[in-house]
Amino acid sequence: MIAFDTSRQGAFYKTFTRPVAKCALLAVFVYQLVYFGWTKLETDEIRQERQG
């Protein structure tokens, strides 16, 4: 019974590890991209307020 559960667990991880990791990495990439864009816009706005 334990060997059966272990093989089911292994099959589950073998099936879903790559898609979950792919989604997690994509989410981190998108977050960093949005954060960089927001920081750039915020910096430009602060510079514009100081000049004008």
pLDDT for 43: 98
Report which DSSP code applies to 52: -
Q: What is the pLDDT along the chain (52 residues), one digit of tens a residue?
A: 565 677 888 999 999 999 999 999 999 999 999 999 999 999 999 999 999 7
The candidate with the shortest Cα–Cα distance to 45, out of 37, 27, 33, is 37
DSSP 4-41: HHHHHHHHHHHHHHHHHHHHHHHHHHHHHHHHHHHHHH
pLDDT for 22: 98
Q: Supply the pTM of this predicted model.
A: 0.71
What is the rounded CA–CA span in Å between residue 5 and residue 42? 53
pLDDT for 29: 99
